[in-house]
Amino acid sequence: MNGFQLIHQKVNLNSFFSSKKKLLQFQKVIDNLVFGFAILGFLTIFADIGDHRGHWDSFFDVVYRSTLLVFFLLFCFRAYLNFFLFKKKREKWLVIVELAFLAVLLLSQTITGLFESLASREFLQLGIFVIFAVEISTRSLQLERIKMNPALLFVFSFLTIIIIGAFGLMLPLSTVSGNFSFIDAIFTSTSAVCVTGLGVVDTGTYFTRFGQNMILVLVSLGGIGVMTFTSFFGLFFKGETSFKNQLIYKDFTGEDQLKNVFSTIIKIVAFTIGVELVGAVFLFVSLSTSDFNGDIGEQMYFAFFHAVSAFNNAGFQLKAQGLYDPILRENHFFQTVVTFLIIFGGLGFFISFHIVESMRDRIKIRIRQWLWGDQIKHVPWVINFNSRIVLRTTAILLIVGTVLFYITEYNTSLKEHGGVGKWLAAFFLSVTPRTAGFNNIDMATLTREGIMVTLLFMWIGASPGSTGGGIKTSTFAVATMGIFNIARGRDHVEFAKREIANESLLRAFIVISLSLIALGLSTLAVGYFNPEISLDKVVFECFSAYGTVGLSLGITAELTTASKAVISLTMFVGRVGAYTLLLGFLKKAVDTKHYRYPVENVIIT
């Protein structure tokens, strides 16, 4: 008989509750208390880090120890409930691990010399942060309890991370000067979470390593989606979820099969981490240690930072001149790796999965043929309708963009490159405006024609289900095909022996209309608040913000507080989508009518 069974015999909570309903209510109270104290502990860590002079050290120590003690008592109740009343296998082992972890931390604080290495404040903070992360993750698998439109839930998840990130960047530990204004923090946090890359300060010199890591975390959360990230860990800790929760996450992930929703989430996170690590290795190899004063650690961090930023189409860079910096300007291998990371991140996870799986199958066949002499089998590349549109549109944009930039920038921004380098630089220019934001040229030298092409590409953006923004390649393709088919007198749109649904065509035109409205309003507002800045630069900045690109003609730092707020809002709308916002706020406001009025034609010329 173990200790838990002995406690169960002595104290049986079933005798205190007349029904299982009340027992479930008691469990809900315990869960809410744990979650509340987890948030309190997390906020205390933030305040403690911000108190760089150490005036409140003794107070924070008391709060940390008290919070851990409360956690331990609440987890004892939770362990009892999970072991004997609800018998949840995965959760009971999780709570045992948490109890053991808390017991070790508490003993290290009370008994001198025992677990002495764990008695530091840093480990207290780590313990509270781990519990906070576990609670947030497991709560993400209980979305069915939240009576909110999934579209609004998606929007508010981004808002929450932006606000938390802003306060994190305002901490003295985050910046070299120890001072960062609220509006600048909101702007930078929004730019990171919305994977834009616009910045009012130089990321490499203004922020400390802690601040740069904070930006990387915000970029990662914003790139794959806050809900995707938390649900991944929630599934790991909890091991199960409800059918209703699967329906909610089905909308977030874009997965067609309900049974594959959470396996898709695991694949997205694993694929993201894998591609970023592989990209970081290639970027590290392309760099010279001498450019970092022989510091290999600094070289590794530089490669990893740019790999994460590139795959998430974020555009944050550690050099003030970006990839136009002297050590990177002629490093075409580095720029090519960044280019392919951007393309992979911008294609969308499902298409990237399919490409990687097809390449893996073909490599396996070649290896088997080489080692064992197996006969080569034809592996068809089966591609669905949406992927076909995205891949074909992406290929056309890359080819056309490369040629256009090569022609328009030949004697200006590409003048210093020669031969193949000029074509590689032009190819990079055709990739980065579509939501990435890396610059391998001096943006101030762009020709007027180059600026127009860049504006178009920033507006189109990446593909659906990707880390990028913009109106998306599929929207642009469907709308373009619709225009040509209507001009030819056809009443429907066809592509690849399929007819595109009228609903998709209507949605494409709605997305385009909303984007133009948002761009018009933001341009009007920034032009009003900064009348001294020329219109072409204002338009470029607003397009870059809405497309979550991050390219600028050098006016970001000159923006007034009001203009920074407008650009922040534009980045947010561009990332979550104007259509998503409209759907979230109006879906329940409009009553469904079970009748239709007579149809009339409107004269449109």
Least trusted range by pLDDT, from 6-15, 76-85, 190-199, 482-491 = 6-15
Which of 72-76, 138-142, 559-563 shows the highest mean pLDDT?
559-563
Percent of the chain predicted with pLDDT > 70? 80
> Mean pLDDT throughout 207-218?
91
Contact 435, 549 (CB under 8 A): yes
Question: Which structural domain range is residue 43 located in?
Answer: 1-139
Where b means 16+ CB within 10 Å and e means fewer, 518-550 reads bbeebbebbbebbeebeeebbbbbbbbbbbbbb
Q: Is the pLDDT of residue 196 over 50?
A: yes
Question: Which is nearest to 227 in space by CA: 188, 167, 268?
Answer: 268
Give the amino acid at 536: D
Where b means 16+ CB within 10 Å and e means fewer, 299-317 reads bbbbbbbbbbbbbbbbbbb
Residue 1: what pLDDT?
Answer: 47
Residue 599: what pLDDT?
Answer: 84
Least trusted range by pLDDT, from 225-229, 398-402, 595-599 = 225-229
Residue 488: what pLDDT?
Answer: 83
Q: Is the pLDDT of residue 239 over 70?
A: no
Question: Which is nearest to 446 in space by CA: 552, 342, 522?
Answer: 552
Percent of the chain predicted with pLDDT > 90? 29
Q: Is the pLDDT of residue 593 over 70?
A: no
pLDDT tens for 470-498 read 899 999 999 999 888 888 878 788 888 88
Least trusted range by pLDDT, from 158-172, 246-260, 590-604 = 246-260
pLDDT tens for 352-384 read 777 777 777 777 777 777 777 666 566 566 677
Which of 128-137, 141-150, 440-449, 541-550 shows the highest mean pLDDT?
541-550
Residue with tokens 């959470």: 262
262 vs 107, residue with greater confidence: 107
Q: Is the pLDDT of residue 148 over 50?
A: yes
Burial of 191: CB neighbours in 10 Å, binned 0-12, 13-18, 19+: buried
How does DSSP classify residue 120? Answer: S
Least trusted range by pLDDT, from 191-195, 292-296, 298-302, 582-586 = 582-586
What are the CA-CA distances from residue 53 to residues 172, 179, 576 (Å)?
10, 14, 39
Tokens of 538: 């204002």
Residue 89 lies in a domain: yes
Residue 110 banded pLDDT, cuts 50, 70, 90 = confident
Residue 341: what pLDDT?
Answer: 92
pLDDT tens for 452-463 read 999 999 999 888
User: Could you tell me if residue 158 is left (phi over 0), alpha (psi between -120 and 50 degrees) or otherwise beta?
Assistant: alpha
Tokens of 548: 């979550």
> Mean pLDDT throughout 564-577?
91
121 vs 345, residue with greater confidence: 345
Contact 250, 258 (CB under 8 A): yes
Residue 587 lies in a domain: no
pLDDT tens for 289-333 read 888 888 899 999 999 999 999 998 888 999 988 898 888 988 889
Residue 153: what pLDDT?
Answer: 72
Q: Is the pLDDT of residue 244 over 70?
A: no
| Mean pLDDT for the chain overall | 81
Residue 51 lies in a domain: yes
Residue 135 lies in a domain: yes
Query: d(Cα 357, Cα 478) in Å, to the nearest integer?
Result: 27
Q: Based on the structure, what is the number of domains in the chain?
A: 1
> Mean pLDDT throughout 165-192?
88
Residue 160 lies in a domain: no
Residue 476: what pLDDT?
Answer: 93
Q: How far is CA 394 from the centre of its chain?
A: 21
Q: Is the pLDDT of residue 243 over 80?
A: no
Residue 99 lies in a domain: yes
Query: d(Cα 25, Cα 37) in Å, to the nearest integer?
Result: 18
Residue 125 lies in a domain: yes
What pTM does this model have?
Answer: 0.81
Residue 330: what pLDDT?
Answer: 87
22 vs 218, residue with greater confidence: 218
pLDDT tens for 413-458 read 888 888 888 999 999 999 999 888 898 888 888 899 999 999 999 9
Residue 240 lies in a domain: no
What are the CA-CA distances from residue 289 to residues 281, 295, 542 (Å)?
14, 7, 38
What are the CA-CA distances from residue 514 to residues 417, 521, 545, 582 (Å)?
39, 11, 15, 9
Residue 188 banded pLDDT, cuts 50, 70, 90 = very high
Residue 417: what pLDDT?
Answer: 83
Residue 3: what pLDDT?
Answer: 53
**Residue-wise DSSP of 500-568:** EPHHHHHHHHHHHHHHHHHHHHHHHHHHHH-TTS-HHHHHHHHHHHHTT----SS-GGG--HHHHHHHH
